[in-house]
Amino acid sequence: MTRHFLKDDDITAAEQGDLLRLAADMKDDRHGFDSLNQSGRLRSVAVVFEKPSTRTRLSFQIGIAELGGNPVVIDSQSSQLGRGESIADTARVLSRYVDAIVIRTFGDDRIAELAEHATVPVVNALTDGWHPCQLLADLHTIAEHRRAGLHMLRGTSIAYVGDAAFNMGNSTVIACSMAGMHVRVGAPAGYQPAADVLARAAEINAETGGSVIVTDDPVKAVSGADVVSTDAWLSMGMEDREQRITDLAPYQLNAALLGQAAEDAIVLHCLPAHRGEEITDAVMDGPQSKVFDQAENRLHAQKALLSWMIGGERE
């Protein structure tokens, strides 16, 4: 059966650990893997964009090339997707040409339909509901900077503050629970993870020993945390700008809020940042920020994922 990576728990906790170890190896030896070109077979990967992108485009395109593969970048505006061809027909056609499909799109229904009709692995490069590739990079970054040792994530506490009702909030809750971490979400009512996401996290935590707490008090969420993470409050297509900024202003990641975290806490933001809104310059550019390490680690984590899914590294 074809394996897809549409959300964080499409892999097991053990597989997550394997991927993080492989990502670390690939970072240590960036050009030492060619697992998409084994035995002279050049594997092609379609990278489909229905949303604008910087880090996702660069990290997948460069990563596939560094693995010895052929990245085929497709923008919806310059393909028949932009003219109304169905996602199901697109899946059937691409499956005849490539070894995997990576897609950055809007609704989760679109990627679910793509995966249903594809006969090759489908990777979620971002949807409205999930951002699992980003969380692999986040976990890689946390492991790098934790004194407990590489990938010793169990028991680490992470605070996620701001809008936690969409992709980054959902993926943080699930992926960090899989790693056995203690997740604290600080968000106002209406911006908190949905009940089904929290229920799934509870199931995972029963196995991994992690935990999730949701509070509307940003100080309570951040107090003593090892990692503090946030994301933009305004995504493409959102029209309620002023209301969102008003609602979320108390959750800005600034020096005062960061001061409530552990002394050696690190700061994460998946970028792009709206400086002065969800995060201040002093924090973003400060000594605790690992934001640009985090951005780089998209490359290594996604190389590991593609190698594991289609390049034989799983075997």
- Would you call 275 helix, strand, or coil by DSSP? strand
Choice among 4, 146, 298, 300 that is catalytic: 298
What's residue 147's pLDDT? 60
Mean pLDDT throughout 275-297?
98
**Phi/psi of residue 204, nearest 5 degrees:** -65, -45
Q: Residue 17: which of 164, 224, 127, 178 has the closest Cα? A: 178
DSSP symbol at 227: E
Tell me the pLDDT tens digit for each residue of 14-33: 999 999 999 999 999 999 99
What's residue 235's pLDDT? 74
DSSP H helical segments within 29-120, as ranges?
55-66, 87-97, 108-117
Task: Check: CB of residue 114 under 8 Å from CB of residue 87.
Answer: yes
Tell me the pLDDT tens digit for each residue of 86-133: 999 999 999 999 999 999 999 999 999 999 999 999 999 999 999 999
Q: Residue 8: which of 169, 209, 210 has the closest Cα? A: 169
Choice among 131, 146, 182, 184 that is catalytic: 131
What's residue 313's pLDDT? 64
Question: Among this protein's residues, is 117 annotated catalytic?
Answer: no
**Mean of all residue pLDDT scores within the chain:** 94
Choice among 8, 128, 133, 134 that is catalytic: 134
Structure tokens at 176: 């960090």
Choice among 4, 55, 104, 244 that is catalytic: 104
Question: Among this protein's residues, is 231 annotated catalytic?
Answer: yes
Choice among 133, 270, 288, 294 that is catalytic: 270
Above 70 in pLDDT, residue 237? no
Q: Residue 104: which of 125, 78, 73 has the closest Cα? A: 125
Q: Which residues contact 147 (CB under 8 A, 6 or more apart)?
A: 264
The two counts, helices (H) then strands (E), for the chain are 12, 9
Task: Check: CB of residue 136 under 8 Å from CB of residue 268.
Answer: no
Question: Among this protein's residues, is 3 annotated catalytic?
Answer: no
Question: Among this protein's residues, is 298 annotated catalytic?
Answer: yes
Choice among 231, 269, 288, 302 that is catalytic: 231
